[in-house]
């Protein structure tokens, strides 16, 4: 299964990226909220975007497809099949490789949320992604970013917890390249990146605290994470 996933997942994502192409997603509602790199942490009144097999093939009608995805996607480590199936059927997931941009019209989003996604981008792709966030947000729109906190990594290293530090903050994968951590941030480096892009009022926040809506559900990493909010 591991060998199949190593070949299948990148190939399918590559083909999907070619055939789906970039399109601008539309949403109904007074406030447009978008979860970028959502995984399975989805909400019905949000636009949920992820470049995963689940986002690509998840079915609201055919349970047998979800059973196959459940095995391939590795979700069994975190969810029962019933939980996995319910998430897919209650939410609308959109497949898109966010390294190619954000499929939203300029100035269309009120809120952008991204958790433990940015560290999977190399430094240049991260700069492009932040620029895309700025483009997609309305004036005064909110961006909330959650990433592993490099300061916490230094702390673990000083405490002699070297293996734990490496596994948590410098994660590698022999299954799928995107699973790897390619860059890490502390508040100062992330603040500099955001301000250089044009964002203002960059603030360090706490777990499930801030101006972004629904963070009592979306924030799931109380330890070792850096929480930052900013406005366009």
Per-residue pLDDT averaged across 151-175, rounded?
A: 72
What's the pTM? 0.85
Residues 138, 110: contact at Cβ < 8 Å? yes
Q: What pLDDT does 32 receive? A: 94
**Distance (Å) of CA 112 to CA 74, 90, 155, 182, 196:** 26, 21, 30, 22, 18
Question: Domain 2-20+27-231 - what CATH class?
Answer: alpha beta
Sheet holding 33-36, edge to edge: 93-95, 47-50, 33-36, 109-115, 137-148, 225-231, 200-205
Q: What pLDDT does 140 receive? A: 98
Per-residue pLDDT averaged across 143-158, rounded?
A: 87
Per-residue pLDDT averaged across 108-134, rounded?
A: 97
Residue 46 CB burial class (10 angstroms; 0-12, 13-18, ≥19): buried
């Amino acid at each position: 299964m591991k060998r199949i996933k190593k070949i299948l997942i990148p190939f399918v994502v590559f083909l999907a990226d070619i055939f789906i192409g970039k399109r601008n997603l539309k949403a109904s509602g007074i406030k447009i909220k978008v979860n970028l790199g959502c995984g399975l942490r989805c909400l019905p009144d949000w636009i949920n975007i992820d470049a995963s097999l689940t986002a690509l093939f998840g079915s609201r009608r055919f349970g047998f497809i979800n059973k196959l995805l459940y095995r391939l996607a590795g979700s069994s480590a975190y969810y029962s099949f019933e939980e996995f199936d319910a998430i897919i059927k209650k939410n609308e997931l959109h497949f898109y490789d966010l390294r190619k941009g954000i499929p939203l019209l300029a100035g269309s989003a009120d809120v952008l949320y991204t958790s433990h996604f940015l560290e999977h981008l190399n430094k240049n792709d991260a700069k492009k992604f932040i620029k895309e966030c700025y483009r997609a947000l309305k004036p005064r729109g909110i961006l909330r970013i959650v990433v592993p906190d490099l300061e916490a990594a230094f702390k673990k290293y000083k405490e002699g917890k070297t293996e734990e530090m490496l596994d948590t903050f410098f994660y590698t994968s022999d299954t799928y390249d995107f699973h790897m951590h390619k860059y890490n941030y502390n508040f100062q480096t992330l603040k500099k990146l955001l301000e250089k892009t044009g964002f203002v009022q960059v603030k360090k926040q706490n777990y499930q605290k801030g101006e972004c809506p629904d963070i009592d559900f979306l924030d799931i990493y109380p330890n070792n994470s850096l929480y930052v909010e900013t406005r366009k």
